[in-house]
Amino acid sequence: MIGLSLWKTVQLGISSLLLHKLRSFLTTLGVLFGVASVVAMLAVGEGASEKAQAQLRELGSRNVILRSIKPKQDNVSEEETRVLAYGLKRTDFDRIDETYPGVVRTVPVLTSPQEVRVSDLLCRPKVLCTTPEFLKVSGRIMADGHFLSQQDEASRSLVTVLGYDVARFLFPFERAVGQTVRIGEHYFEVIGVLVPRGPLGATASNPSSEAGGEVYVPLSTGRAYFGERQVTVRSGTFDIQEVQLHEIIVQAERDVDVPFVAAACRAMLSREHEDKDYEVMVPLELIMREKETQRIFNIVLGSIAGISLLVGGIGIMNVMLATVTERTREIGIRRALGARRRHIITQFLVETTVLSGCGGLLGVALGLLIPWIIERTADLQTVVSPIAAVLAFGISVLIGMIFGLYPAWRAAHMDPVEALRHE
Amino acid sequence: MSDRPGDVVADLQNVGRVYRMGSELVHALRDFTFQFRSGEYWAIMGSSGSGKSTLLNLLGCIDRPTSGTYSVRGQEISGLNDNQLSVLRGRELGFIFQSYNLIPQLNVIDNILVPVVYQDDPIPNAKERAVELAERVGLQGRLDHRPSQLSGGQQQRVAIARSLINDPAMILADEATGNLDSKTAEEILELFDELHASGKTILLVTHEQEVGDRAQHLLRLKDGLIHEVRLAGEPAREEASA
Ligand SMILES: Nc1ncnc2c1ncn2[C@@H]1O[C@H](COP(=O)(O)OP(=O)(O)OP(=O)(O)O)[C@@H](O)[C@H]1O
Ligand SMILES: [Mg+2]
């Protein structure tokens, strides 16, 4: 039996479109670029947000991080030696640690610029003097050995935990745990090595360069052996900074407690500090802000894509109107031979949809190619979601249907006699 | 269904067709009452503008009368909507045009099949029938050709095969030989003779007296009125004069 199957109509549409290959191709360009930009920009945006979210997750979504910052100096003294005391105080730490509801852990961090050596290997990692609970709030994982203990803290032990990169640099061929390293002027026993940050294999820092990597020692040990003063020599002048704590990591019990903990910390610090010599970082807020930014980005992107798809759709409609006029006679013939209006509508609608669908397919292909090129040339992470590709293609098909409707309607409502007389 | 010879297939009662040209009314067809019967082969003649095409369009249901009634095989068309009229066209009427009017994207067989695909319950074995018809009108070996690859005569043969595919009540041909040289025209007319001999009902509009004379009967129009009816074997009978 020979009916008018959809497949037959699609075939007919394709063969009609192939009669004017260049015109058909040019007509699809609008939709093609619209769809390609949707897919590509979503991939780039998704990649950026995924990276940002991963970074923030590493900071801990339940954490509120207080940091010392050097206040702006108005009157730069010309003295040879300056002592600049600023930042978070031990008393700040005690207040939060003792009294705040909703806080499960409070971890102090003092950093000290020290050289770390093993025989003739030297590196300058960040030396973090902190308490055993650091491991829990940071979410870091031990690769070998164990982290600093309460015992180490209480007895000011000369023990250290190395970051993965530092361990690999100082002990390239042997197990680091059990070895001795020299930090500053003192010798420390390595008791543990941490798993690297981020995905395995992706080395974030390079300890063989001037500074990089991390080394952990008990806070009590750090205070006793390195002190709170940091001396830097800069163009002949001694620059002495005195900071009691560089960082206080406050961990809330639940995510919902984070805003209150953050507010309490901010209130307390602004009360206790005359200068703005601290900052409060709330990863959860950053995540929210990141999401908001992402949302705005998506809106802007969606509008741009929407406009280009709209323009593409209008282009298609324009060409289809011309096609309908051009094929007036064919329409007359088909009507005379028994085609009902809906047959004519279907024929032109299918043709438009095939046209925009082809544009959509090519657009998706181009949209997948662009992130691929970006990843290889611009060192940007991209994430192509199949849903975005399918959605963009679906939209292109929809565009064809919407913008094909009017030309098809025009075709179907021609007077057969007039249509047959058309030259 | 098929008609017995002599059954009325097209019944026009007081049919009028008026065109409006600005404020002027053009009476292309006036108070036209006539019946075409099954198996008849009519030539419709008349000077230019006499209403031949208007009549054929009405008979072919691609146009509706502005007054009077028209029935095809007893079916009054004024009660039919656009869809029903389309179905009727495809099923009961076969069109042959002066300029062939094939669909350029389709090959010979698919062109012949166009009236079939629009029917809700198409005839069985349509493809075989299309091949059969194509061969009957002399298109052997051309079944895969596109219209652009065929001569005018061959294209008109495709159109004839197409007009026959649904076995319609009548075949309407408007100047079917008008674009062809006399030799090719003769071949087409021979085809019509064959069709007539096999019992088909044919209405052929023509300008040429020889073509008109070949037909069984002749209907001459003048200013939208019947001017002359000449039945086979009878002398000419004047109907009206303007
Ligand atoms: N769409 C139309 N609008 C206005 N007047 C029309 C229209 N179609 C036909 N007419 C008029 O109706 C009359 C009959 O036209 P028709 O086309 O039937 O003539 P015809 O006999 O086929 O002529 P020809 O031999 O030139 O084809 C003419 O006067 C013509 O001008
Ligand atoms: Mg005419």
B77: which DSSP letter? G
Q: Which helix (H) or strand (E) holds A312?
A: helix A283-326
Q: What is the pLDDT of residue A325?
A: 95
Q: Give yes or no for A338 touching B (CB within 8 A).
A: yes
Both tokens of residue B96? Answer: 């042959």
Chain A segment 374-413 residues within 8 A of B by beta carbon are none
Among B57, B118, B122, beta carbon nearest to A340: B118
Task: Taking the CA atoms of B227, B231, B233 and B239 in sequence, report the sign of the dihedral they define.
Answer: negative
Contacts of A350 in chain B (CB under 8 A): none
Q: Give yes or no for A299 touching B (CB within 8 A).
A: no
Going from the Cα of A42 to the center of ligand 1, the distance in angstroms, rounded, reads 61
Separation in Å, CA B124 to CA A384, B113, B127, B130: 51, 12, 9, 11
Both tokens of residue A286? Answer: 């950053």
At a CB cut-off of 8 Å and minimum separation 6, what does A175 contact? A144
- Cα A371 to Cα A91: distance, rounded to the nearest angstrom: 51
Burial of A5 (0-12, 13-18, 19+ CB in 10 A): exposed
Q: Give yes or no for A233 touching B (CB within 8 A).
A: no
Spatial contact of B217 and B40, defined as CB atoms under 8 Å apart:
yes
For chain B, counts of helices (H) and of strands (E):
7, 11
Both tokens of residue A12? Answer: 């007919």
A113: which DSSP letter? E
Separation in Å, CA A74 to CA A247, A275, A331: 25, 12, 83
At a CB cut-off of 8 Å and minimum separation 6, what does B201 contact? B3, B9, B36, B37, B38, B39, B40, B41, B169, B170, B171
Question: With left for phi above 0 and alpha for psi between -120 and 50, is residue A338 left, alpha or beta?
Answer: left
Going from the Cα of B45 to the center of ligand 1, the distance in angstroms, rounded, reads 14
**Digit-coded pLDDT (tens) for B212-227:** 999 999 999 999 999 9
- Cα A136 to Cα A274: distance, rounded to the nearest angstrom: 32
Q: Which of B53, B118, B163, B164 to mutate to test binding with chain A, by most A CBs within 10 Å of its CB? A: B118
Q: Give yes or no for A287 touching B (CB within 8 A).
A: no
Q: What is the pLDDT along chain A (423 residues), one digit of tens a residue?
A: 345 578 888 888 888 888 888 999 999 998 998 899 888 888 888 887 787 777 777 777 788 888 888 877 655 555 556 677 888 888 888 888 877 778 888 999 998 888 898 888 888 888 999 999 998 888 888 989 999 999 999 999 999 999 988 998 899 889 999 999 999 889 999 999 998 875 443 444 444 444 468 899 999 999 888 887 777 666 666 778 888 899 999 998 888 888 888 888 898 888 888 888 888 888 888 778 877 887 887 788 778 888 888 899 999 999 999 999 999 999 999 999 999 999 999 999 999 999 999 999 999 999 999 888 888 887 778 888 888 889 889 999 999 999 999 999 999 999 999 999 987
All structural domains of chain B: 40-64+79-238 (3.40.50.300)
Atom of ligand 1 nearest to the CA of B20: 4
* Contact: A19, B105; criterion CB under 8 Å: yes
Q: What is the pLDDT of residue A201?
A: 39
Residue with tokens 């009125």: B225
* Contact: A341, B83; criterion CB under 8 Å: yes
- B19 CB less than 6 Å from ligand 1? yes
- B52 CB less than 6 Å from ligand 1? yes
- Cα B43 to Cα B172: distance, rounded to the nearest angstrom: 10
**Digit-coded pLDDT (tens) for B55-88:** 999 999 999 999 999 999 999 999 999 999 999 9
Both tokens of residue B8? Answer: 């009325």
Spatial contact of B62 and A416, defined as CB atoms under 8 Å apart:
yes
In the three-class reduction of DSSP (H, G, I as helix; E, B as strand; rest coil), residue A122 is classed as strand
**Digit-coded pLDDT (tens) for B132-185:** 999 999 999 999 999 999 999 999 999 999 999 999 999 999 999 988 999 999
Nearest C-alpha in A relative to B83: A340
Residue with tokens 């995540």: A287
Separation in Å, CA A411 to CA A4, A320, A324, A327, A416: 18, 10, 6, 9, 10
CA distance B234 to chain A (A): 35
Spatial contact of B78 and B67, defined as CB atoms under 8 Å apart:
no
- Cα B132 to Cα B129: distance, rounded to the nearest angstrom: 5
Q: Give yes or no for B19 touching A (CB within 8 A).
A: no
Q: What is the pLDDT of residue B26?
A: 93
Strand B75-76 relative to strand A126-130, pairing: unpaired
Both tokens of residue A64? Answer: 């509120």
Contacts of A412 in chain B (CB under 8 A): none
Going from the Cα of A323 to the center of ligand 1, the distance in angstroms, rounded, reads 28
The pTM of this model reads 0.74
**Digit-coded pLDDT (tens) for B91-120:** 999 999 999 999 998 999 999 999 999 998
Q: What is the pLDDT of residue A180?
A: 93
Q: What is the pLDDT of residue B241?
A: 46
Q: Give yes or no for A62 touching B (CB within 8 A).
A: no
Going from the Cα of B241 to the center of ligand 2, the distance in angstroms, rounded, reads 21
For residue B50, the Cα-to-chain-centroid distance in whole angstroms is 17
Backbone angles phi, psi at B16, to 5 degrees: -130, 150
Nearest C-alpha in A relative to B172: A336
Spatial contact of A376 and A39, defined as CB atoms under 8 Å apart:
no
Q: What is the pLDDT of residue B151?
A: 95
Q: Give yes or no for A11 touching B (CB within 8 A).
A: no
Number of A–B residue contacts, CB under 8 Å: 75
B147: which DSSP letter? G
Write the residue with the smallest CA distance to atom 7 of ligand 1. Answer: B19
- B122 CB less than 6 Å from ligand 1? no
Strand B41-46 relative to strand B202-205, pairing: parallel
* Contact: B90, A343; criterion CB under 8 Å: no
Contacts of B90 in chain A (CB under 8 A): 337-339
Contacts of B63 in chain A (CB under 8 A): 416-417
Contacts of B83 in chain A (CB under 8 A): 340-342
DSSP A343-365: HHHHHHHHHHHHHHHHHHHHHHH
Contacts of A337 in chain B (CB under 8 A): 89-90, 95, 114-115, 118, 162
Chain B segment 218-237 residues within 8 A of A by beta carbon are none
Q: Which helix (H) or strand (E) holds A45?
A: helix A21-59
DSSP B161-191: HHHHTT--SEEEEESTTTTS-HHHHHHHHHH
Q: Where are the beta strands (DSSP E) in A124-225?
A: 126-130, 142-145, 159-162, 180-183, 186-194, 214-218
Among A329, A332, A338, beta carbon nearest to B119: A338
Q: Which of A337, A350, A418 to mutate to test binding with chain B, by most B CBs within 10 Å of its CB? A: A337
Q: Give yes or no for A420 touching B (CB within 8 A).
A: yes
DSSP A376-398: HHT-------HHHHHHHHHHHHH
Spatial contact of A269 and A92, defined as CB atoms under 8 Å apart:
yes
